[in-house]
Structure 1
Amino acid sequence: MAEEKKKPKKQSTFSQIKQIYQFTAQDDKQLPFLIAGAIIVPIIVGVIVCAVFKFGWLNWILTMVLAVMIGLLLGTTVLTRRADKVGFRQLEGKPGATGAILNNITKGGFSFPQEPIWVDAKTKDAIWRGSGRTGIYLVGEGDYGRVMKAMNREETRIQRITRGSDIPIHRISVGDGPKQVPLNKLQKTVVRQKVKLTKYELEQLNDRLQTLQAKSTMGIPKGMDPSKMKISRRAMRGK
């Protein structure tokens, strides 16, 4: 009998934290000091409280255990936030970064295909279309003017399959301009909209959008594969 293929081992929480730390520390030199401070400060506070109130040995132990737990929690929080900043900073300006972020928004019924529905082969401006219980999304990356013109065409096509309904179409341009949304705020901008559709209505909408997409499938130019973009662990969870 052929040997059974070994299943890949799941990474432990410690290994995951170690990888995130190594990834972040390469770009963030202040990280070790910030984490150390976040862990040590609660412990120092715990010692002071115990000394001031003259706790007995049992209360000392309980207080210090609590202080260590709070310190570890704060240290982990600092790590994830700094990792987010580094991850988004490394993504900014890279073609396909918007798609990498959108594709990892999985909660709340959101669905964003990896491939953009429109790409300018010369400038690499792109538009992604997605959906959720909050409506339909057109998210553009690149020059604001060019992206808005392309969105006008895509919105007209969408309106043909949603005629007679009140499904909102949200248009978002990603960038650093006055009318654009920064990459690190894209997820919050997408998920904060009000719920408009039931799960059943969303399923019907997705079926129509898939049919629309099948009629105009477009490949991705080289250098724009969002599935290969690296982002921080927290961003990958769509939080």
Structure 2
Amino acid sequence: MRQIILDTETTGLSPAEGHRIIEFAGLEMLNRKLTGRSLHLYMHPEREIDPDAERVHGISLDFLADKPKFRQVAEQIVDFIGDAELIIHNAPFDVGFLNAEFERLGIAPVKVLCAGVVDTLAMARDTFPGKRNSLDALCDRFEIDRSNRTLHGALIDCELLSEVYLALTRGQESLMMDLDDDGASGGLVGLAFEKKPLVVLKASEAELALHADYLDALDKAVKGACLWRGYEAPAAEGGA
């Protein structure tokens, strides 16, 4: 299956308030392996960037001054994500912005263009309920190196998300799952495990005597037969 690890950076939080996409990044994955094909674009938003948003991603309007408008790169994005399954952390955010940009240009929405959307944030919340499930937190949980992530950038976030996605859907990197086809590519298929008989250790005479003394003490404490006597009786009768 062709999948695209996708992330965007924007001028603010809500496309309904006219905020726009200023950075798009996507990494192509086939059969759970990155192909090396990617698309990374910066776009001039034709509006101001909220200061809070700029503090998060570090992208200024001055930096975007000579960058193309979204309408000039929309075809590249559509061609890249078309017919693929999108993997996005907090998918409603990015899909909402993409749909708003597409609608301005009369382009079909993501659900029509793509084969589906996987939200890794929703997956993480199901897997780790009640815990922090930001991209940073998941990288720490799965011991993924994020030392290069000083600001939120779409491309570095895609690279980290690809590793998080594999960890979420496979549990851990496994040598058995990565063997070449000329080896045991079927994972555990074809491996033989020796089934050894169950070893039963019987109590010694000394241990049985200590056990009997302990039950006698319990009988005395409850002024009658302790509950354990009821479990021992059938065994004694069956062995007589």
TM range (shorter): under 0.3
Whichever structure has more helix as a proportion of its residues is 1
Bigger Rg over Cα: 2
Higher RCO (CA-CA < 8 Å; seq separation 6+): 1
- TM-score, normalised by the number of residues in structure 2: 0.21
Whichever structure has more strand as a proportion of its residues is 2
